[in-house]
Structure 1
């Protein structure tokens, strides 16, 4: 497997440099892989327990009146590099979307990178078919289109869509929507508690969802956490072996090892081009 991964990285490096890029793209890809694996994205790329996850957020300066970018060259260059790096992480089961937030904050327009598990997202749409079909979404709607439609929806049901996609239990999705509707109607914030699922980098503040004040974890919450902890244990075991040796792009190699069925497909496809 080690030889296979090293061969894949050589092919990816060749692909990057063939487009006039340098090891900077591989370094960025390694950094993004670390953000995914060390945080809640792990639960997305390892089988889709969490259909989508946030990878990073970033911002560009805009004019506070016109909301035009102060310089188009800066976002163009940074986004080109980002998309190139994400291309080294994307494969048939796993994809990425880079979206601006609908809401503008002062003199900044904030973007986020989302990682998604294709089949897991489609399964959520199938499970909640009527809800999504009302919004013109079906299981074969392109996922970047689904997420754009969700982000730029001004209605409260957008919170339900996000709840499904971020992997919240059904009761938490209901509370998420009901609390948003109450706050919109009354301007009154609904008090709440939070349930936390640890990730590699921290125990709280990553995979987290709101529940009513005083709520005690039920079977659905316990089962979700147990599934996540099993995946986290597998990851930590693999990580210990990858971090113990001198690797130039340790998290990029580890990323492909964690999704090795897809790694093998890409490796074979890359070889067929030569």
Structure 2
């Protein structure tokens, strides 16, 4: 019996090592040791970071342009209240439903992944959206850069101080509280957090207030920063219709363009034999040099 147990343990170790080696990339870096994750969860983390680098999260993961970024994964699960359910009801998520059980299991894996990815410099969070839709709850994955978030709490203390937020506030507290705040405070908060300039934040909030008062949509243009996935629609903010970009906008654009080109130049040095990028080592090397 003891021999059989020992054999089974050895077999599990061999299978585990074999699976890990097939992933191709390093899971033990200066920044991370993902040994607590299953191979499937390591792949989830890898794909999440890879998506982030190809989109606007690059400017949080490998630079200081954006205090926070969305990692773009649209997570939606049938776990919210249906139309007939009331405020204060006890039983909402139907645990007898296969879809609900699978949703909660997947969310548990995501929370485990984000916990393991979080470091002294970066926090990864899964934040539920306030609004639900036909019994579905949407959630967003956010990465926060601690130093830039702390500086923002100091720089905009006259705004963020109303919630008691300070440079040492927990990012999860900040993001969760703001998502469930009133609309226009939420708009202003997210504008600052996502790295938009003051004039763009003011315009968006004022346009919302104007629409509330008049019922008329305020027309707008958009100012786009490039990302690897495309030149428009990612790191983007609204501006007045016919607005001529200023030095402030140009400075943000040029910095984003420089960061993107630097990333694209470095990326080829981290390409694996199967064509994938070892994003763990790429990001880790950036933070190692800081």
- TM-score, normalised to structure 2, is 0.80
Counterpart for residue 28 of structure 2: 8
1:180 alignment counterpart: 208
Partner SS, residue 167 of structure 1 = coil
Contact 2:221 2:240 in 1 (8 A): yes
SS in 2 for 1:15: coil
- Could you say which structure has the larger radius of gyration? 2
Q: Which secondary structure state, in structure 2, belongs to the residue aligned with residue 204 of structure 1?
A: strand
> Is the contact made by 1:37 and 1:255 (CA closer than 8 Å) also made in structure 2?
no
2:82 to 58, 64, 71: 64
CA distance in 2, matches of 1:145, 1:14: 28
Retained in 2: the 8 A contact 1:59–1:110? Answer: yes
**Using the alignment, how far apart are the partners of 2:164 and 2:236 within structure 1?**
29
146, 153, 159: which one aligns with 2:174: 146
Please give the residue correspondences for 1:211-250 in structure 2 after superposition, counting only pairs within 5 Å: 211-243=239-271, 245-246=273-274, 250=278
Please tell me whether the aligned partners of residues 225 and 231 of structure 2 are also in contact (alpha carbons under 8 angstroms). yes
Q: CA deviation at 1:136?
A: 2.3
Contact 1:235 1:258 in 2 (8 A): no
- Structure 1 pair 140–75 and aligned structure 2 pair: CA distance change class (3 A): same
Question: How far apart are residue 108 of structure 1 and its match?
Answer: 1.6
Cα deviations by residue, 1:193-229 (Å, 9 ceiling, x for unpaired): 0000010111111100000000111100000111111
Mapped pair 1:82 → 2:110: yes
How much does 1:80 deviate? 1.6
Aligned Cα root-mean-square deviation (Å): 2.3
Gapped runs of 5+ residues in structure 1? 17-21, 263-274
Count of residues in correspondence between the two structures: 253
1:256 alignment counterpart: 284
Deviations 1:160-181 (A, max 9, x none): 1111001001100110110111
Q: Is the 8 A contact 1:63 1:70 kept in 2?
A: no
The two structures have a TM-score, normalised by structure 1, of: 0.85
Partner of 2:161: 133
Equivalent in the alignment of 2:11: none
